[in-house]
Structure 1
Amino acid sequence: MQWGNPCKFFPTTPLSVYQSPELFEKLHLDTLFFIFYYQPGTYQQHLAAKELKKKSWKYHKKYTTWLLPDFNTIKILNEQVEHGTYVSFDYVSTWSKQLKKNFSFEYIHLEDEITI
């Protein structure tokens, strides 16, 4: 029995649903982080970042990681820095959330606009 080339049956373009912000609203945090870190420069990365921001996560440009502030502990020290406890997403070694106490977030490192 001979088999034909299965490649002709594979999709050649992403499904349009993967361009939909509504889909990204339903995705789990791990999925959003995966898309953000493993699809760089794509519209999907932009949508993942946008959704993470909607969930109050902040992207730290210097450490290239996402941080979620514990709003009960955050103190704005001045126009450039806030200080407190954050949940950090460690995408390099553990792919998990870790608590960062007494962390100073300098606004100069805050990503305001994720570009693609």
Structure 2
Amino acid sequence: MGKEQDQPSLNTTKPESEQTDMDRYGLNGLLSLVRGEQSDQNTVALGTDLNFLGLDLSSRTDGVKLSKTFASPWIETSRSEVEPQFKTPEEFHISDVSKLEEKLTLFTDETLFYIFYTRPRDVLQELSARELMNRNWRFHKGLSLWLTKDQSVEPIQQDAQSERGVYIFFDPHNWERVKKEFILQYASIVA
């Protein structure tokens, strides 16, 4: 008898006005929720059996979807793909598309510069850089600019690592070609 009197009684509930947050949302609140003493909170916390709402959720309906459009309330965070509810018509399938590398050869230098500067860290940036290099443009690593030799003036070799000449630079800020006399260090260009 003595031990039972030392333990607090679980049947004692305080009136609503005297309950603290710990009484409502702590273990005491959980106990009243599990017992089903508060039907409104019990319905919200534990949910409702969908069989009572008229949905047949027995094992014989495993392949039946409840909704065609509502996959899950957590669909935005789900990693599984949802099957689309459409089929692409055969006439929309394209198979005879030429490779992108072949198309880039048809573009002007300015278009290739545009692709290079607007697609950082993209395959298109690399492909446009390759095409510019095929057209004798070189990228200067220190200046972060494209340059090419002026065909009318032959550069003069200064030493084994550099040459002096007239070069045409492409200025991406003003979007124009600028002709300058320049000493080119071979190590500073991407070959």
TM-score by length of 1: 0.75
1:61 and 1:110 in contact (8 A); partners too: yes
CA distance in 1, matches of 2:163, 2:133: 17
Among 108, 111, 114, which residue is 2:190 paired with? Answer: 111
2:132 to 40, 52, 59: 52
What stretches of structure 1 move > 6 A for 4+ residues in a row?
none
- The unaligned stretches of length 5 or more in structure 2 are 1-96
Q: Is the 8 A contact 1:19 1:44 kept in 2?
A: no
Over residues 31-87 of structure 1, what are the superposed CA-to-partner deviations in whole Å (9 max), with x where a residue is unaligned?
Answer: 100111110111111111011111111110000000011243212222210110001
- Contact 1:83 1:105 (C-alpha < 8 Å) held by counterparts: yes
Provide the residue aligned with 1:61 in structure 2: 141
Secondary structure of 2:159's match?
Answer: coil
Q: For 1:106, give the aligned amino acid.
A: Q
Pick closer, same or farther for the CA change 1:18–1:32 going to 2, 3 Å: farther
| Higher RCO by CA contacts (8 Å cutoff, separation 6 or greater) | 1
- Identity percentage over the alignment? 32
Residue 77 of structure 1: SS of its match in structure 2? strand
State the superposition RMSD in angstroms: 1.8
8 Å CA contact 1:18–1:44 kept in 2: the answer is: no
Select the structure that is richer in strand.
1
Secondary structure in structure 2 of the residue aligned to 1:26: coil
1:86 and 2:161 matched = no
Unaligned 5+ segments in structure 1 are 1-16
1:35 corresponds to: 115
Number of aligned pairs? 95
Q: 2:106 aligns with which of 12, 22, 26?
A: 26
Give 3-state SS (helix, strand or coil) of 2:115's partner.
Answer: helix
The TM-score, its normalising length taken from structure 2, stands at 0.47
Moved more, 41-50 or 70-79: 70-79
Contact 1:81 1:106 in 2 (8 A): yes
Question: 1:39 and 1:107 mapped to 2: Cα distance?
Answer: 26
CA drift of 1:107 comes to: 1.1
